[in-house]
Amino acid sequence: MKRLAVVVAAATVALGGCSSLPRLNNPFPSLSGDIGPEADAVRMRQAGAQPGLIAGYLADPATYLTRAAASDLYEIQSSQVARGRSQNRHVRSFAQRMIDHHTHLSSELAAASASAGLQPAPAPTLDPAHVEMLRQLQTTPDVDVLYVAQQRGAHHRARTLHTGYWRNGDIRELRRAARRARRTVGRHIVQLDRLERRVIVP
């Protein structure tokens, strides 16, 4: 398991090292560091924000849609890299599943947004941390281990994002989509546990 620990540490550095990442609708834009709604919430609490403000930030529909689309984009692109580079059939199978599922999740969210009468979200883009993670995945000789490590972190952040809107959002169509996405991502996390045992040599 030492090999996994080293790769996880590298993936964590890639996420935490981008200290100037832009934040969408963040009431505390100067608070930077790790990315994702859970990290934002921690910084907001440290800055003295009230729970209602935190819930409102995590429930902002524009923020939710933008972050969810970017999360799906990363899942799709990183899985395309893993599918192309991995020699492990279990990794390639999981990667293809991620491409299919996250493409579907993006379509579901877009449909829910349209059904709610919201303006179409702009085309998703990757933030600097995810760009660096993709670069590492494209060049590492240990693609299977790094892919699993990156997927674990990305899926936990995605589950926090979808849970936040499902619990705190006020647009019914988006809340339903967020609940479905949360369940799908949760299943992916369980599948990652099994995949890790097939990839990591104890």
DSSP string of 16-54? HT-TT---SS-S-TT--SS-SHHHHHHHHHHTT--HHHH
Q: Indicate the DSSP class of residue 59.
A: T
Domain 2-199, CATH: 1.20.1260.10
In whole angstroms, what is the distance from residue 104 CA to residue 111 CA?
10
151-165 pLDDT, tens digit per residue, is 999 999 999 999 999
In whole angstroms, what is the distance from residue 177 CA to residue 189 CA?
18
* Angle, CA 54 vertex, CA 58 and CA 156 arms, to 5°: 50
- Give mean pLDDT, residues 79-90: 97
In whole angstroms, what is the distance from residue 53 CA to residue 79 CA?
35
What pLDDT is recorded for position 198?
Answer: 85
Question: pTM for this one?
Answer: 0.76
In whole angstroms, what is the distance from residue 55 CA to residue 44 CA?
11
Question: What are the structural domain ranges in the chain?
Answer: 2-199
CA pseudo-torsion sign 119, 25, 136, 157: negative
What pLDDT is recorded for position 158?
Answer: 93
Q: What is the mean pLDDT of the chain?
A: 80
144-155 as b/e: b if 16+ CB within 10 A: bbbbbbbbbbbb
In whole angstroms, what is the distance from residue 54 CA to residue 119 CA?
24
101-117 pLDDT, tens digit per residue, is 999 999 999 999 999 99
Alpha helical stretches, state H, the chain: 2-16, 37-46, 51-58, 61-85, 89-115, 128-139, 143-168, 172-199
What three-state secondary structure class fits 86? coil
The two tokens of residue 131 are 């760009």
In whole angstroms, what is the distance from residue 189 CA to residue 169 CA?
24
